[in-house]
Chains A and B, each alone.
Chain A
Amino acid sequence: MLDQTEGYTTEDGRKIGGVVMEMKNITLRFGGVEAIKDISFDIREGEIRAIIGPNGAGKSSMLNVISGFYVPQEGQVFYKGSPRPQMKPYQVAQQGIARTFQNIALFEGMSVLDNVMTGRLTKMKTGLWAQSLWFGKAEQEETENREFAEKIIDFLEIQAIRKTPVARLPYGLKKRVELARALAAEPSLLLLDEPMAGMNVEEKEDMSRFILDVNDEFGTTIALIEHDMGVVMDLSDRVVVMDYGKKIGDGTPDEVRNNQDVIDAYLGVSHD
């Protein structure tokens, strides 16, 4: 059964709660290719959980399983204690899961503000007619959602580009806007697919700070995929290591760092 034991406290004094999501013996195949082989792990409430591994290890596939986009052939996903049925993307969003993408997926022609506002769509209840006529509750609803979007913009320090079309922004800022859109949905679980890929050191530092602040300020549970080992070890509470679709390590950054299988996977192993 699902492990709902009480959480733990991290070294810096953050309270980590019980398990919110558990993967049980997940296997995912594309035709004959086994992208994920019999993997089990859990994500606890309020923690920063990293998934790392070399190229082609199946990390993004794993994230897509967590988000419900891929349905595994074998195994089951438990979310908040109950097995999760197959869902449509909007149902996933309504459950409180938001994500960013490895290859930025923003509306390029729209302004930053409008992009962030799309993250609020699941929170809007008024219908098409009311919204197009600006009638009744629609106006009040827009104001409330705009206020929330502005708080996110303030939080991520992107006020200066609020009205700028996304297409005109540099890569690092687009990544930040994507994070803003995900946060606008007020997720309880945030999935980040390589949030720092292609960034310079300064941008990485900024992004790390934002991730920690999001976790700290909103108590959001975060699962992230990242290549930069330094960043992963600094940010995360627990790390899952994958290689060729298999789980080869799971634990705190220190445990993972000293795991022989992980060292072999990253540095290669001599065959003699």
Chain B
Amino acid sequence: MNNRTEGASGPQSVPALLHRNATEFANAPAYREKEYGIWQSWTWRETLEEIEALALGLIDLGAREGDFVAIIGRNRPKLYWSMVAAEMVGAIPVPLYQDAVAEEMAYVLGHCGARFVIVGDQEQVDKVIEIQDQLPTFEQMIYLDPRGLRKYDHAKLHQYSHVQDAGRAKRDELLGELTARQEKLTYDSTCVMLYTSGTTGKPKGVVLSNRNVIETSKSSSEFDDLRQTDDILAYLPMAWVGDFIFSVGQAMWTGFCTNCPESADTMHTDLREIGPTYYFAPPRVFETQLTNVMIRMEDAGRFKKWLFDICMAHARKVGPAILDGEPVSQWDRFKYNLGELFIYGPLKNTLGFSRVRVGYTAGEAIGPEIFDFYRSLGINLKQLYGQTEATVFITAQPDGEVRSDTVGVCCPGVELKIAENGEVFYRSPGVFVEYYKNAESTADTKDAEGWVATGDAGFIEEKTGHLRIIDRAKDVGQMASGALFAPKYVENKLKFFPNILEAVVFGNGRDECTAFINIDLTAVGNWAERNNIGYASYQELARHSQVMDTIQGHVEEVNRSVAQDDMLSGCQIHRFVVLHKELDADDGELTRTRKVRRRIIEEKYADIIAALYDGSTSVSTVTEVTYEDGRKGSISATLEVRSAAVEAIAQKMAAE
């Protein structure tokens, strides 16, 4: 057929991959969506027909090559098809975050100058109408769900199915044009433009070419042995690069099936029903699921609880080893199989993980307990490290080399280098083309040889070649002794304890590290209740000597773990205080996304920090607080400064 190219060259664009799939896997399911209570599915051949009809309809509406087509809505096959249809007509799809407010959308739509917007429903239509006066280039909007839109002015508004119908009706007339446009697509033409979420400054449009997307999809699919028969659940935002690579890039490359949930609320039910074989979730999702399991087990009957406890203890002992193919005694294997029968199997089924062959988590550090819990059940959960600018994959963990503290080895085709200040640089076929209309930022991020700065500091373990990310590069410093100081690395270790909600570590340019700690009121309060410890306020509980003892135990455990690390052993915490108030975004101590603002905390609590370093055993302080209604007040408290045992570093050196 027209676009099918065989041999070494292979398909050079996503639409070309679609044509290949429609021929090779014609009757295999390509997309499924749960609607009206049942899973509706489309084969690859039907998918091609649907996408072609839409592409023809877009040409009919006047879509030109090089146009930007914005796509806004929850994960639905029709929106994925919209992206591919846009590529077919030579336009560039730009998926947006569906929960963005109108002003944020105005910036992105204005920046790329989108002529067409394809949206899910009335909510998105309303947002675009609200801002259309600010968008001189905006011309036509296409919507999927006609509900509530009957009375709208349809001069600029079209229903998705009507656009497809128009495309089908004019097929003979326009197919030549569509074919010609597809043939012009090369490895270097733009495949998609994705906006970074913009935590620092305005969002930037990352331009990714067909080469970026196809090369990355190809190598990552081979890395994890993804198959045509795999199933994924598409539930993460369509504007996020990961979703594009999983649900479009890898799906098109390997021909597996993308399943879309019925709505955001039914995600867990749909996950169970589909039982994906390839699954991705940020640590937060795994954490919530684990908490739910534990709470429900607390409420279970005594026998069930007992069975769960002994089975999980055994799973923790041998589960990861079995998963990694390490030698395990026959007796342990037998016990593990029994556990599989009674606990692990049913539990995995409830969670929807029965069929998971490859699972990934990324985005932030995942607690080792959480990570081990899933792995001990026999779920092959791994970590990866990536960025929009890299078309996701920078490093990933190969099967059998999975650990909670690394992010894996270089993905195929990726080169890594660590700069003198510890910042991680990479170069790969997936490196983005440019930031759209922002040559300055492009030059700042990507040098002439194609090396891209990640903004993260890390190092490569000599023995294993695994990359470990320690912190954002700008937070990393040096201690007085010249040792590396990476606060977030230590803070994450502290925060993995359920009793610790937040931690701030100090020590940049000093001899020793110290820390502020916030207790988690839910966890510690629960513990106090079970142990008949009365308390009237957060402040009182935080000051309780038994709580202080517990926290000291946690800090010392972290110190032991930090001491194991050659590079960061200087970051052991010598002294700490448990703060009398929770760090709060209302007081400016945290960002709205709960990231610690170090500078502000250092200024505000300068007196406590001073006490941590001058050897005093307690410190009296008065702190201003802002209530939710904006009133200000102050709380005064006397805090106990505790010293924690540290491991001698010299000893470790001697041992080596």
Contacts and interface: CB of A to CB of B under 8 A. Distances in A.
A160 interface: yes
Interface in A17-62: none
B34 to A, nearest CB: 8
B262 interface: yes
A185 to B, nearest CB: 18
Interface in B148-197: 148, 150-151
Interface of A: 12-14, 113, 146-147, 150-151, 153-155, 157, 159-160, 162, 209, 212-213, 216-217
Closest CB pairs A-B (n = 4) = A160-B265, A150-B36, A150-B37, A160-B266
A265 B262 CA distance: 48
Contacts of A153: 36-37
B288 interface: no
A159 B151 contact: no
Contact of B151 (A13, A154, A162): A13
Given A159-B263, A159-B265, A160-B266, A14 B151 contact: yes
Interface in B447-492: none
Given A157-B263, A159-B263, A160-B265, A217 B150 contact: yes
B130 interface: no
A216 B37 contact: no
A12 B147 contact: no
A109 B151 CA distance: 40
Contacts of B150: 216-217
A213 B37 contact: no
B565 interface: no
B607 interface: no
A155 B263 CA distance: 12
Contacts of B151: 12-14, 216
Contacts, number: 37
Interface in B93-150: 147-148, 150
A63 B148 CA distance: 27
B591 interface: no
Interface of B: 35-38, 147-148, 150-151, 262-263, 265-266, 269
Given A159-B265, A160-B265, A160-B266, A147 B36 contact: yes
A26 B147 CA distance: 38
A151 B37 CA distance: 9
The CB with the most chain B CB atoms within 10 A, among A150, A151, A154, is that of A154
A14 B151 CA distance: 8
Q: Which secondary structure dominates chain B's binding surface?
A: loop
A154 B148 CA distance: 14
Q: Which secondary structure dominates chain A's binding surface?
A: helix
A149 B147 CA distance: 17
B77 to A, nearest CB: 16
Contacts of B269: 160
A35 B614 CA distance: 83
A61 to B, nearest CB: 34
A217 B147 contact: yes
B265 A154 contact: no
6 contacts: A146-B37, A147-B36, A154-B35, A160-B265, A160-B266, A216-B151
Contacts of A209: 148
B469 to A, nearest CB: 36
Contacts of B148: 209, 212-213, 216-217
A159 B262 contact: yes
A216 B148 CA distance: 7
A150 B150 CA distance: 22
Nearest to A162: B37
Given A154-B36, A160-B266, A216-B148, 19 more contacts: A12-B151, A13-B151, A113-B37, A150-B36, A150-B37, A150-B38, A153-B36, A154-B35, A159-B37, A159-B262, A159-B263, A159-B265, A160-B265, A160-B269, A209-B148, A216-B150, A216-B151, A217-B147, A217-B150
The CB with the most chain A CB atoms within 10 A, among B36, B147, B151, B266, is that of B36
B147 A155 contact: yes
A207 B198 CA distance: 35
Contacts of B36: 147, 150-151, 153-154
A209 B262 CA distance: 21
Contacts of A13: 151
B261 to A, nearest CB: 9
